Amino acid sequence: MEPSVQSSLELIRNLMRLSQVQHAIKTRFWDDEFGLHPAAGGLLADIVAREECRVSDLAEHRVVDTSVVSRQIAQLQAAGLVSRRPSPSDGRVALISATERGVEVLRGWRTRQADLIKQALVDWDEDSVGEANRVLAALTAALRAHLGD
């Protein structure tokens, strides 16, 4: 049986609240020494996870226009956190990867964010956190699949 309209709308409200909390976490621990928007941290995390990728692949993954990612990449590159090189198979395409400094900066951001989560969920056990992770991962996968991502 499919979810009701009411429970679907409640899920949307909870997702919006979760997004607001996620934004608050990012901005609270954002190190502005580079003059970057906090969204750049998420993009840097995607680049580190992929090791080397095309701008268009990042835009598709983030479900945004390529121009948005291109602007953020330019900012990350100016800050020395990512590098760009031509693709060996197609010189018109740039491949983006994190610099050592970018990996270090991301590690620092993640540590501060993880510490906040650990403190906020001090009364949760590892199984509860694992279950929350499984549910959120399944929800994200279902929504991405439906959106055609």
Q: Enumerate the domain spans of the chain.
A: 5-147
pTM of the model: 0.70
Task: Check if CATH label 3.40.50.720 holds for domain 5-147.
Answer: no
Residue 83, H or E segment: strand 82-86
Q: What is the DSSP letter of 34?
A: G
The pLDDT value given to residue 35: 73
Question: Helices 100-120 & 39-50, crossing angle to 10 degrees?
Answer: 110
What is the pLDDT averaged over residues 116-127? 94
Can you name the residues that pair with 147 across neighbouring β-strands? none
pLDDT tier for residue 30 given thresholds of 50, 70 and 90: low
The pLDDT value given to residue 62: 83
Q: What are phi and psi of 60, to 5 degrees?
A: -65, -45
pLDDT tens sequence across 66-102: 888 889 999 999 999 999 998 888 878 889 999 999 9
Range with lowest mean pLDDT among 3-7, 22-26, 105-109:
22-26
Question: Helices 55-62 & 39-50, crossing angle to 10 degrees?
Answer: 120
